[in-house]
Chain A
Amino acid sequence: MSWTKKVLRVNLTEGSCTEEPLNMEWVEQFLGQRGLATKYLLEEMDPKVDALSPENKMIFTTGPLTGTMASTGGRYSVVTKSPLTGGLACSNSGGFFGNEMKNAGWDMVIVEGKSATPVYLSIQNEKAELVSADEYWGKSAWETEEGLKAKHQDPLLRVATIGVSGEKGVLFAAVINDLHRAAGRSGVGTVMGSKNLKAITIRGTKGVGNIKDPARFFQATQEAKKVLAENPVTGEGLPALGTQVLMNVINEVGGMPTRNWQDSVFEGASKISGEAMLEARESDGKANLTRNGGCFACTIACGRISTIDPEHFTVKDKPEYQIASGGLEYEASWALGCDTGVDDLDALTFANFLCNEQGMDPISLGSTIASAMELYEMGALTKEDTGGIELNFGSAEALVKTCELTGLGEGFGAIIGMGSQRMCEKYGHPELSMTSKGQEFPAYDGRAIQGIGLGYATSNRGGCHLRGYTIASEVLGIPIKTDPADSDGKADLLKAFQDATAAFDSAGICIFTSFAWTLENVAPQLDAACEGDWTPERLAELGERVYNLEREFNYAAGQTGADDALPPRLTKEPVKQGPMKGQVNELGKMLPEYYAARGWNADGTIPQETKDRLGL
């Protein structure tokens, strides 16, 4: 069954850690990880609670394939109410933390309440305790991990922690594990900080066993790994160039949001691309990319490990940053680069280091800085507001300085830390915030690429590409090529992607496998691992159930169909240049089609018959 069937409940107010059985009835209905934790949260907590109050709960959750040899089977998610969107936060991370939780004998850790003073949660197999974190409060994620490993005299300790940004209430703070893997989006690190919970440390030595049918499991996982190895994206493109393989591709399509979405082609894209990361630089003859790295059990290994030119202004005289560390993924390179107009690869790499060091979501950070740059250039934000920073598009110095301040929640960084929606409202231009439901968009222009725009509007966690990656079809032709400029059929396409993604996430594997795998490849692995008679059809239905459950949470939290929206720049300001010139997102046409495809009412509510069909 590949479950430990145990949940650790941690009450920070009372200082207690208790064990309880996993609700196997809910497992049957919601599988694991994303789906299962959402069910727990909705059942246990009123979604209307203030996200930063002790009443909010925070669930660290694994899936049935987490901790196994299934490729990429090391994922965990942090599920809570988001302070950024006011809806559901569900942020997925790789690295080596999720498998360690399972190895310690826990499927899930539920954190509730608020500690009076800073603490960390120490888990060693069945032993769990809250320990004072006074000495780590005010420290970065990197210092905290190093300090905790030294304190426990255990180099094999796995650590998930927040940096200073999460303590200071930056609304897009992330939870960082293994130094540079992140449960990045929607401010899950901010919630952790609000609870005075600095970190979770785990050592597990119990092993992940109880595979339902080991022989069939090994055969299924072997076959699935072969599919990944033989696929051009997962077998070649991602290991060689990482997600940065997309930088030149998306730019050539004309779907590269640039300078806060004023433009849709970035002239500097090739300088900050995956290919550029491989080029030897003049100073020391080395490339930005040191090597690729894999998360736990991952046979793709898209992770970038980068080293900044020691002569570069960002790290000169700072030996602590002249090391190999987590390098640029496409989203970070876009948000910190294209969206701010900065084409300095090493500056972006440094900004990315800062995101890992202080625990910030680079998408929301870069996008918020980009909107601040537009406010600054139009005069709505002054040098007085920025504390003297000349916040012009294209300025690497301004970008880096602003990232440093935001990481510490200091000065102008505290303004950026509000996120783009609140900041743009504060300065009188809410229309310049490139967000849906309060969360910043990722790296694909929803005017040039119709389906992804519909995805941003309808995503259950606000602006996001990882809830329905229609780019696979609209740009890469996976599983079939559709025309990015054409809105016809995109409602059905998006629904299929959203449902399948919810199933991948709930299984405990990485969504990047879906470049090569469909539910046909996932089902045999799951079915051999655990009870439930998992077929591709059942998984698709599960995905739809999870998607609707998340929608129920958001509605109960106060969101409505009116929140399925895009800013006017996407629906009214046509693309200015490139192959997609003249296009806007046709949300008005697609949204009713999407509601119909989902079996929802015209106002976006879920009718009882759809709930009945999905067993909700």
Chain B
Amino acid sequence: MQKSLLIDADKCTGCLQCEMACSVSAEGSFNPSKSRIKIFPFHDEGVFVPYTCTQCDEAWCLHACPVEAIQLNKETGAKEVINDLCVGCKVCTISCPFGTINYNADSGKVIKCDLCGGDPECAKACPTDAITYVDANWTGYDKMKASAAKAIPGQPAS
């Protein structure tokens, strides 16, 4: 069963534990500037939004890569950067509509979320369950359940 990262911005407090978990796993040090997942604080609204690659099926980055350095991991569904092949041309960073694949000037390669091979560190590190790793076919389960709960007799209509 394929799984997917599920992000609930309502629960995010902006603590960056996810960014540290990601960077220490991928780069070996606590380094938010090298994280594949980013938290965006919208200060004036008082909202924190975690954002990372959604692992598109028809992945723009994968198709754009001229050297086939981005490949599908069939088990996890992740599009992974093969470092030995990546030439740092950055075409993928231009093609991605979401901005979730980026160049790392220190390594000369691009970096993106690879779902940590099926055990994403960000989800494990999140203290508020704003990031979870769930059945890819049922990312709407909790929202659907909350809607369904409104049918319980005696519940307020809203």
Does A417 make an interface contact (CB < 8 A)? no
Beta-carbon contacts under 8 Å, A472-527 to B: none
A324 touches B43 (CB 8 A): yes
Beta-carbon contacts under 8 Å, A290-307 to B: 290-299, 301, 303, 305-307
A294 touches B14 (CB 8 A): yes
Given A296-B15, A299-B15, CB of A291 within 8 Å of CB of B46: yes
**Pick from B31, B46, B48, B127: contact of A225, CB under 8 Å:** B127
Q: Select the stretch in B20-28, B71-79, B88-96, B110-118 that faces chain A.
A: B20-28
Does B44 make an interface contact (CB < 8 A)? yes
Residue-wise, chain A 291-335 has the 8 Å CB interface mask toward B (1 for contact) of 111111111010101110000000000000001110000000000
User: Among B28, B30, B43, B125, which residue has the most Cβ atoms of chain A within 10 A?
Assistant: B30
Q: Select the stretch in A49-57, A185-193, A200-208, A588-596 that faces chain B.
A: A200-208
Residue-wise, chain B 111-149 has the 8 Å CB interface mask toward A (1 for contact) of 000000000000001011000000000000000000000
B residues near A305, Cβ cutoff 8 Å: 46
Give Cα A288 to B17, complex, Å: 27
Given A207-B29, A209-B28, CB of A69 within 8 Å of CB of B46: no
Does A103 make an interface contact (CB < 8 A)? yes
Residue-wise, chain B 9-48 has the 8 Å CB interface mask toward A (1 for contact) of 0000111110011011001111111100000000111111
B44 touches A208 (CB 8 A): no
User: Among B15, B47, B125, which residue has the most Cβ atoms of chain A within 10 A?
Assistant: B15
B43 touches A296 (CB 8 A): no
Quote the shortest CB–CB distance from B11 to chain A (angstroms). Answer: 10
Give Cα A96 to B48, complex, Å: 14
A294 touches B33 (CB 8 A): no
Residue-wise, chain A 263-297 has the 8 Å CB interface mask toward B (1 for contact) of 00000000000000000000000000011111111
Give Cα A593 to B48, complex, Å: 50
- The residue in chain B whose Cβ has the minimal distance to the Cβ of A209 is B29
B16 touches A325 (CB 8 A): no
Give Cα A253 to B117, complex, Å: 54
**Pick from A96, A209, A292: contact of B30, CB under 8 Å:** A209
**Pick from B24, B33, B43: contact of A69, CB under 8 Å:** B24
Give Cα A229 to B30, complex, Å: 22
Give Cα A303 to B13, complex, Å: 9
Quote the shortest CB–CB distance from A299 to chain B (angstroms). Answer: 4
Secondary structure of the A contact surface, majority rule: loop
A residues near B46, Cβ cutoff 8 Å: 290-291, 293, 305-307, 324-325
Does A179 make an interface contact (CB < 8 A)? yes
- The residue in chain B whose Cβ has the minimal distance to the Cβ of A203 is B33
B44 touches A68 (CB 8 A): no
User: Among B21, B23, B24, B46, which residue has the most Cβ atoms of chain A within 10 A?
Assistant: B46
Does A67 make an interface contact (CB < 8 A)? yes
A206 touches B31 (CB 8 A): yes
Give Cα A67 to B20, complex, Å: 9
Give Cα A239 to B128, complex, Å: 11
Given A293-B48, A324-B44, CB of A299 within 8 Å of CB of B17: yes
Given A69-B20, A299-B17, CB of A103 within 8 Å of CB of B31: yes
Does A150 make an interface contact (CB < 8 A)? no
A69 touches B34 (CB 8 A): no
A69 touches B14 (CB 8 A): no
B30 touches A67 (CB 8 A): yes
Does A156 make an interface contact (CB < 8 A)? yes
A296 touches B47 (CB 8 A): no
**Pick from A68, A204, A290, A297: contact of B33, CB under 8 Å:** A204
B residues near A293, Cβ cutoff 8 Å: 13-14, 46, 48
A residues near B16, Cβ cutoff 8 Å: 96, 296-297
**Pick from A99, A179, A225: contact of B43, CB under 8 Å:** A179
Give Cα A69 to B20, complex, Å: 6
Give Cα A163 to B29, complex, Å: 34
Residue-wise, chain B 46-58 has the 8 Å CB interface mask toward A (1 for contact) of 1110000000000
A residues near B21, Cβ cutoff 8 Å: 69
Give Cα A206 to B104, complex, Å: 12
User: Among A71, A207, A305, which residue has the most Cβ atoms of chain B within 10 A?
Assistant: A207
User: Among A68, A206, A293, A325, which residue has the most Cβ atoms of chain B within 10 A?
Assistant: A293
For this complex, 26 residue pairs linking A to B, each with C-beta atoms less than 8 Å apart, are: A68-B30, A96-B16, A99-B32, A103-B32, A156-B33, A179-B43, A204-B33, A207-B33, A208-B29, A229-B127, A239-B13, A290-B46, A293-B46, A293-B48, A296-B16, A297-B16, A297-B17, A297-B20, A298-B13, A298-B15, A301-B15, A324-B43, A324-B44, A324-B45, A325-B43, A325-B46
Residues of A that sit less than 8 Å from B by CB: 67-69, 71, 96, 99, 103, 156, 179, 203-209, 225, 229, 239, 290-299, 301, 303, 305-307, 323-325
Q: Which 9 A-B pairs have the closest CB atoms?
A: A324-B46, A207-B29, A207-B31, A209-B29, A294-B15, A290-B46, A301-B13, A294-B13, A299-B127
